[in-house]
Structure 1
Amino acid sequence: MCFKKRLISMISLALLIALLTGCELFPKEETLLAPPLMEPVAVSYSTVKAKRGDIVKTIRGSGNFVSIESKYMFFEARGGRLKDIYVRHGDVVKKGDLLAELYTDDLDYEIKMQELNLKKARLTYNQLKESNADKYTLQRAAIDVEIANMNLERLKKQKAETQLVSDMDGVVIYVDTRLSPGDNISVFQNIIRVADPEKLYLAYSGSNMTNFFMGAEVEVTIKDKQYKGKVISTPSSVPPDGDENLKNYVGIEVENLPEDVKMGDNAQITLILDESRDTIIVPKQAVRNYMGRKYVNVLENGLNNERDVEIGIETATEVEILEGVEEGEEIILR
Structure 2
Amino acid sequence: MKQITLGHVNFKPFSVAMSLVFLLSGCSLLPKEQEALAPPLLEPAATQYETETVTRIDLIDAYEARAEFQSTNSADVYYRELGQRVKEVHVKPNQAVKKGDLLIELEQDDLPFQVQQQQINLNEAKLDVESALERKKEQEKLQSDIQALKNEMTKVDNEIKEQKDKIRATDNEEKLIERQTKLDSTEQKKLQIEQELAMKELQQQSMSDINRDIQRAELNVERQQNQLNNYRTKLEASLITAPISGIITSLAKLQAGEMIEPFQTLVTISDPNSLRLVSKPSGNRVNELSVGMEVIVTIDGKELNGEIFDLPDENAPDKDISIEVKDIPSSIDLGERANIKIIFEIREDVITIPASAIRNYEDQQVVRILDGDNLTEVGVQTGLKVDDRVEVISGLEEGDQLILR
Question: TM-score, normalized by length of structure 2?
Answer: 0.58
Higher-helix-fraction structure: 2
CA distance in 2, matches of 1:278, 1:57: 14
1:276 aligned onto 2:347? yes
- Corresponding position: 1:203 with 2:203: no
Check the 8 A contact 1:47/1:330 in 2, yes or no: no
- Measure how far apart 1:262 and its partner are: 1.0
1:159 aligns with 2:163: no
> Which residue number corresponds to residue 287 of structure 1?
357
Please tell me whether the aligned partners of residues 297 and 303 of structure 2 are also in contact (alpha carbons under 8 angstroms).
yes
> What does residue 264 of structure 1 align with?
335
Distance in 2 between residues matched to 1:172 and 1:53, nearest whole Å: 46
Asked whether the equivalents of residues 365 and 381 of structure 2 are also in contact (C-alpha less than 8 Å), the reply is yes
Superposed CA deviations along residues 21-69 of structure 1, whole A, max 9, x for unmatched, are xxxxxxxxxxxxx949xxxxxx998876655553223455543322123
Q: Which piece of structure 1 moves more, 185-194 or 143-152?
A: 143-152
Q: Which amino acid aligns with 1:284?
A: P
SS at match of 1:191: strand
Question: Is the CA contact 2:57–2:352 (under 8 Å) kept in the aligned structure 1?
Answer: no
1:56 pairs with 2:60 = yes
> Would you say the 8 A contact 1:74–1:191 is kept in 2?
yes
C-alpha contact (below 8 Å) 1:286/1:331 kept by paired residues = no
Partner of 1:73: helix, strand, or coil?
A: strand
1:11 corresponds in structure 2 to none
Find the partner of 2:377 among 285, 303, 306: 306
Structure 2 residue identity aligned to 1:272? I
Query: Tell me, what secondary structure is at the counterpart of 2:376?
Result: strand
C-alpha distance in structure 2 between counterparts of 1:239 and 1:283, whole Å? 41
Structure 1, unmatched stretches of 5+, are 1-33, 37-42
**Structure 1 residue 210, shift from structure 2 partner:** 4.0
Deviation, 1:318, is 4.4
Give deviations 1:88-121, integer Å, cap 9, x for gaps: 2123333444432433322210111121233344
Deviation at 1:321, TM superposition (A): 0.9
Partner of residue 306, structure 2:
229
**Which residue of 1 is the match for residue 296 of structure 2?**
219
Corresponding position: 1:333 with 2:403: yes
Cα distance in 2 for residues equivalent to 1:210 and 1:311: 23
Comparing both structures, which one devotes a greater share of its residues to strand? 1
Q: What is the CA–CA distance in structure 1 between the aligned matches of 2:372 and 2:251, rounded to whole Å?
A: 73
- Largest Rg, 1 or 2: 2
Match of 2:257 in 1: 182
Matched position secondary structure for 2:79: coil
Q: Give the Cα separation in 1 of the matches to 2:51 and 2:218.
A: 103
Q: Please give the residue correspondences for 1:70-89 in structure 2 after superposition, counting only pairs within 5 Å.
A: 70-89=74-93
1:21-40 aligned at under 5 Å gives the runs: 35=13
Tell me which amino acid in the other structure corresponds to 1:289: R
> Is the Cα–Cα contact under 8 Å of residues 369 and 403 in structure 2 kept in the other structure?
no
SS in 2 for 1:80: coil
CA shift in 2, pair 1:47/1:181, >3 Å? closer
Gaps of 5+ in 2: 1-11, 15-46, 141-209
TM-score (norm 1): 0.69
RMSD between aligned residues: 3.8
How many matched pairs?
A: 286
Opposite residue 257 of structure 2, the aligned amino acid is G
Contact residue 380 and residue 396 of structure 2 kept, 8 A: no
Partner secondary structure for residue 304 of structure 1:
strand
Secondary structure at the counterpart of residue 243 of structure 2: coil
Question: Structure 1 pair 141/296, CA: closer, same or farther in 2 (3 Å)?
Answer: closer
**1:194 maps to 2:269:** yes
